[in-house]
A and B are shown apart, each in its own frame.
Chain A
Amino acid sequence: MLSRTADHLFWMARYTERAENTARMLDVHVQSALLPQGAEAMHLGWRGLLGISELTAAYTERHGEIEADKVLDFMVCDTGNPSSIQSCLRAARENARAVRGAITTEVWETVNQTWLESQRLLAGGVGRLDPGAFFEWVKYRSHLSRGVTSGTMLQDEAFHFLRIGTFLERADNTARLLDVKFHALQSDFYGSTNGRVQEHDFYHWSGVLRSVSAFEVYRKVYRDVITPERVAELLILRPDMPRSLAACMMAVNTHLQAVANPQSRETLRRAGLLSAQLQFGRLDDIMATGLHAYLTHFLERINDLGAGISQDFLAA
């Protein structure tokens, strides 16, 4: 397969996944705004959200003070923000269009339709009127895109590079979500033992779980109250939890092995190591390192991995 083609496929999948994850995070924020909570907590929430995506500076430059409506617009339909949902959907579509010969007609039509439809929806003002419905729609289009990919594509290199893009992006997004939720609200969390409102933590953590479709999974796995440690364990180490770091890295590893070439040995070694460490790691050790330090290091490592993949396969 052409290196350029692989590159477009990789990014098509990454942007699709990024749009979905952004929609998931925004959805949780919009929903938690329905709960009684102080203006300060809300503000912190939106700030954290911009922090996850490393967009605080870009936002401030454009809009100044943090206001819910403006953050929402910035993250949903601002085409000047390359990480907004609309920008991601457009980038996914442009990448798909550049390689429409390498994907099935169904995959192309799905991605193209998503982009066309998103323009129509956003022009109709759904981003403001009913953001929840829009986020739901983005999620389902992403599900559809993945389903059509696995349901119609030959499992050749094209398929593997799509998968690598999806899971690398997902690992990145899950790690960022965890980092911000633990780091930014650490004081709240540690404060809870000193008589802080227990319900607040419940809504906080159930929001995190819902944003990665893990609320019901958590109940099923632990059959117990929600604790931050278990949330971390579920989203980092559980290999059977589809959005956990372990599951993502195992998938990246598998698909990388399928496309290995003579110069990719080091990249494969690193991916394998990372995957193994997640597979055999223990939460105690991670907590001993400190979650924030652990996640920061993890993000660095998958960033390196992305660069390695790019160098070994995509730039050739």
Chain B
Amino acid sequence: MRFYDEMTSAGGGVRPHYEQYAHWLAQQPPDTISAKREEAELIFRRVGITFAVYGDQAGTERLIPFDLIPRIIPAAEWKHLEAGLKQRVTALNRFIHDVYHEQEILKAGIVPPEQVLGNAQFRPEMMGIDLPHHVYAQIAGIDIVRAENAQGEGEYYVLEDNLRVPSGVSYMLENRRMMMRLFPGLFARHGVAPVAHYPDMLLEKLRAVAPPSASEPTVVVLTPGMYNSAYFEHAFLAQQMGVELVEGQDLFVKDDFVYMRTTQGPQRVDVIYRRIDDDFLDPQVFRADSAIGCAGLMRALRAGNVNLANAIGTGVADDKSIYPYVPRMIEFYLGEKPLLNNVPTRLCREPDSLAYVLEHLPELVVKEVHGAGGYGMLVGPASTQAEIAAFAEKIKVHPEHYIAQPTLALSTCPTYVESGIAPRHIDLRPFVLSGKTVSIVPGGLTRVALAEGSLVVNSSQGGGTKDTWVLEK
């Protein structure tokens, strides 16, 4: 399989947008770089940019490896990505609103009703509740990968939409701060679009979706607590926005209003940027054993006295079984052609697709729609004939349970590894913010799979991160 490299073209030349950087890199003595790497690690530790490790003794904290070579995106490519992301997230928000109101897309037969209504992430409690600006996913993390197309060009694909509590934005911000601290000279000559205004933009969006009755809305960030793996990010965002970081125990509901306990008595809360899953938000409505939520929250929400970001029930739109329908949503709600590619996905429930899938199993990845974490999945190129034959039988019995995608060749980017600099696979998660309008800071979080040949970029699996540069021209 051939991989598209972000820096080097197939012929071995450096791509134009990397030329200046490659030139600079070639001039750096090796010990300067290793000194910078150590410095970066030291600073990350002191600043405490760590994530907690589950299952370990409380307080065990690890660093996510940070790679010094940036992933660079040329201005024109970003322009296209940005437009496509805004379009996609707008349609997804329209979809969620529709699902919890008129359900026109179901009536029109575009998305099969049972795919939505039978979904565990569908929250009937949200039916008929009107949210400010009809926004459900104020914060969306859209995972994007790049692979080589038939013409040998790198093509962007949306791999996954994350509309519940997407994380990682603090790493985007800290990675940039680190790069500017380590290599100030590089930024002077490169014209890299800044990202530091993200918290400002986020606060603006959160205030924009406050209940109309709140004239000076109070925004808080709700965290499960300091032993949560993403606690650093919760604290970071609260601090950068200048709002309180609350835990469930700090909140209470009285007469359908939400208050926080302060040193000056109860204070009203209007918008909660919650970093807790739906299930744990309100023990009166969802899981009764939740100790990290706030009883009565749903009641306050229904009364229109508080708003949550993201809304309850957004999971209905970022599920694997819904993903294949996103391009059709865009056409249905916006009357536009989708600007960003989905990974071509075949729904085995459709007879034509089923026939194709059964014929091409050795080259496809087949996923169970409700499966997660690679469970119940067939990776054609890595499977034996017997395995494929057995899987084919399972598909024939319940075709509606399966989707199929081509095996993706994630693009690579040069990365520091033990042996020097080598290509490693990467993805990209831009953060799309919706309030009155939709905005994105240029770039996102680039994750990199540090093990040779690995396509798994998750930090829990030894993935690292890189700074992401969107060039201004």
Contacts and interface: CB of A to CB of B under 8 A. Distances in A.
Contact of A316 (B45, B47, B226, B262): B262
- Interface size class for chain A? 20 to 34
A101 B265 contact: no
B265 A316 contact: yes
Given A98-B226, A108-B47, 14 more contacts: A2-B246, A3-B263, A4-B249, A97-B226, A101-B235, A101-B239, A101-B244, A102-B239, A109-B46, A109-B47, A112-B46, A112-B48, A314-B263, A316-B263
29 contacts: A1-B244, A2-B244, A2-B250, A2-B262, A2-B263, A3-B250, A3-B261, A3-B263, A4-B249, A4-B261, A97-B226, A97-B235, A99-B245, A100-B48, A101-B235, A101-B239, A108-B47, A109-B46, A112-B46, A112-B48, A157-B263, A259-B263, A261-B263, A261-B265, A262-B265, A314-B263, A316-B261, A316-B262, A316-B263
A301 to B, nearest CB: 22
Contacts of A1: 244, 262-264
A278 B260 CA distance: 38
**Which 3 pairs, one residue from A and one from B, show the smallest C-beta to C-beta distance?**
A101-B239, A101-B238, A316-B261
Q: Most B CB atoms within 10 A — which of A5, A100, A157, A261?
A: A100
A116 interface: yes
Contacts of A112: 46-48
Contacts of A313: 263
Nearest to A105: B47
A107 to B, nearest CB: 11
B247 interface: yes
Nearest to B237: A101
Interface of B: 45-48, 59, 226, 235-236, 238-239, 244-247, 249-250, 260-265
Contact of A116 (B45, B59, B262): B45
Given A112-B48, A113-B46, A3 B238 contact: no
Nearest to A109: B46
A214 interface: no
Contacts of A97: 48, 226, 235
A313 to B, nearest CB: 5
Given A113-B46, A116-B46, A100 B264 contact: no
A315 to B, nearest CB: 9
Nearest to B58: A94
Contacts of B238: 101
Contacts of A252: none
A219 to B, nearest CB: 40
Give chain A's interface secondary structure class: helix
B165 to A, nearest CB: 18
Contact of B262 (A3, A100, A105, A108): A3
A4 B46 contact: no
A268 interface: no
A97 B249 CA distance: 18
A100 B46 CA distance: 13
Contacts of B244: 1-2, 5, 101
Interface string A271-310: 0000000000000000000000000000000000000000
A205 B247 CA distance: 49
Nearest to A98: B226
Contacts of B250: 2-4
A85 interface: no
Nearest to B47: A109
A3 B262 CA distance: 5
A133 B263 CA distance: 40
Contacts of B48: 97, 100, 108-109, 112
Contacts of A109: 46-48
A49 interface: no
A109 B262 CA distance: 26
Contacts of B265: 261-262, 316
B260 A100 contact: no
A295 B235 CA distance: 42
A157 B265 CA distance: 13
A209 interface: no
Nearest to A6: B263
Nearest to A158: B263
A3 B247 CA distance: 11
Nearest to B61: A97
Contact of A2 (B59, B236, B261): B261
Contact of B247 (A4, A100, A261): A4
Interface in A217-255: none
A27 B431 CA distance: 53
Interface in A21-68: none
Contacts of A262: 265
A259 B239 CA distance: 21
Contacts of B249: 4
B258 to A, nearest CB: 14
Contacts of A5: 244-245
A108 B48 CA distance: 9
A94 to B, nearest CB: 8
A262 B246 CA distance: 23
Contacts of B226: 94, 97-98
A261 B59 CA distance: 35
A2 B46 contact: no
A2 B238 CA distance: 13
Q: Most A CB atoms within 10 A — which of B59, B236, B239, B250?
A: B239
Nearest to A261: B264
B189 to A, nearest CB: 28
Interface in A83-98: 94, 97-98
Contacts of B236: 101
Contacts of B46: 109, 112-113, 116
Given A98-B226, A112-B48, A262-B265, A2 B235 contact: no
Nearest to A103: B239
A2 B251 CA distance: 10
A133 to B, nearest CB: 22
Contacts of A102: 239, 245
Q: Most A CB atoms within 10 A — which of B235, B238, B246?
A: B235
A288 to B, nearest CB: 40
Contacts of B263: 1-3, 6, 157, 161, 259, 261, 313-314, 316
